[in-house]
Amino acid sequence: MNPAAKHIGLIGLGLMGRPMGMNLIKAGYSLTVWNRTASRADELVAAGAKLARSPEEVAAASDFLLTIVSDPPALEEVLWGNCGAMPALKRGSIYVDSSTISPALARKIAAAGAERGVRFLDAPVTGGDWGAKKGELVFMIGGDAETLKEAEPILSVMGKKLFHLGPNGAGQTIKLAMNMILALQVDALAEALALTTRSGIAGEKLVEVMQSSMARSGVLDVKAPNLLKGEYVPSFPLRLMHKDLGLALDLGNQLGVALPATAAAREIYNAVKGAAKEDLDYSAVMKFWKR
Ligand code: NA7
């Protein structure tokens, strides 16, 4: 199928949404966008996207809608707030949400979509803004397999791997579990670096040994340089990691699963978030020991 014949809507042009939209345009799709702060659409509009006046207008123009906004309240606002998208979604269309939200909200959206004949996938992503720019995101997907098959050509423009994990909510559940691990790994690395450097040994020594041990990891490759240099330009903002740890703890409560390590890590992210004067990457958790 000619990509230009498929009308895609994109709501949420933050750190992730902008490069994802750019890759859709480059692949030849016709794109209509909306963002709360309209100026964030400038680059996409210059590249050929149409700017809508509301989420409702985007949904009404789309065969395929993608949303990627900060958190559950932001998503509820764009779907059911003033001129929201949900009531305007076309029967037969596919709606994919890539925000990280609660599995319960994903299931609520799926049910509301089904009532209107709209097929929904929860499809949060991992890979940071770097993965979004390169079109190398990893999608964690919950929903119907047939719907995913239809959505696959579009999602593949933005991602290198699509994991189908179960019914609606499964994508979000795995995403929260993934982010718990990433948050704990970076927190553990920061603690160990604090101990090492306070002993008078360069942090680089610890990292060097870890690279030759079982503690070697992608997190070490990507985040250790930030921690060692004390540079925390947001790739995945700390405020969003903090939000995800909260969502994971809520899910643990609902399921009756104790998450003591996650609870402790969230306190540390919370302290750094409270003291931060600017937007920082989550690797800035190191600042807890630099105060
Ligand atoms: P960013 O860069 O913080 O972008 C967040 C986006 O969400 C941005 O477009 C915001 O609009 C939008 N937003 C936030 N609150 C609202 C409300 N209330 N109404 C409408 N739109 C809103 O986040 P990322 O792109 O890094 O991440 C997006 C998601 O992927 C998030 O769930 C991560 O955890 C994973 P703004 O430009 O501020 O007007």
Cβ contacts of 161-165, under 8 Å, gap ≥ 24: 163/138, 163/139, 165/140, 165/141
Q: Which helix (H) or strand (E) holds 196?
A: helix 170-198
Of the candidates 148, 167, 186, which is a domain's last residue? 167
What is the mean pLDDT, run by run of 10 residues, along the chain of 291 residues?
79 98 98 98 98 98 98 98 98 98 98 98 95 98 98 98 98 98 98 98 98 96 97 95 98 98 98 95 96 68
- At residue 81, the 3 state secondary structure works out as coil
**Dist CA 85 CA 59 (whole Å):** 5
Which of 104, 138, 167 represents a domain boundary (last residue)?
Answer: 167
What pLDDT does 181 receive? 98
- Which residue lies with its CA nearest to atom 18 of ligand 1? 74
**Intra-chain end-to-end CA distance of the chain, in Å:** 56
Mark whether 237 and 117 lie in a shared domain. Answer: no
The length of the chain, given as a count of residues: 291
Ligand 1 atom closest to 237 (CA): 26
Look up the pTM and report it: 0.96
Q: 98: helix, coil or strand?
A: coil
The number of the ligand 1 atom at minimal distance from the alpha carbon of 241 is 34
C-alpha of residue 282 to centroid of ligand 1, in Å:
16
The predicted pLDDT at position 39 comes to 97
- Same-domain check for residues 20 and 77: yes
Whether 177 and 163 share a structural domain: no
* Domain containing residue 153: 3-167
**Residue for token pair 């600042």:** 287
The catalytic residues are: 175
Which helix (H) or strand (E) is 121 found in, with range? strand 119-122
Domain check: are 226 and 284 in the same one? yes
What's the DSSP call for residue 248?
H
Residue 222 sits in the same domain as residue 150 = no
Q: Which residues line ligand 1 (CB under 6 A)?
A: 12-17, 35-37, 40, 68-71, 74, 77-78, 99-100, 237, 240
CA distance 164 to 140: 6
* 242 Cα–ligand 1 center, Å: 14
Q: Which residues contact 80 (CB under 8 A, 6 or more apart)?
A: 86
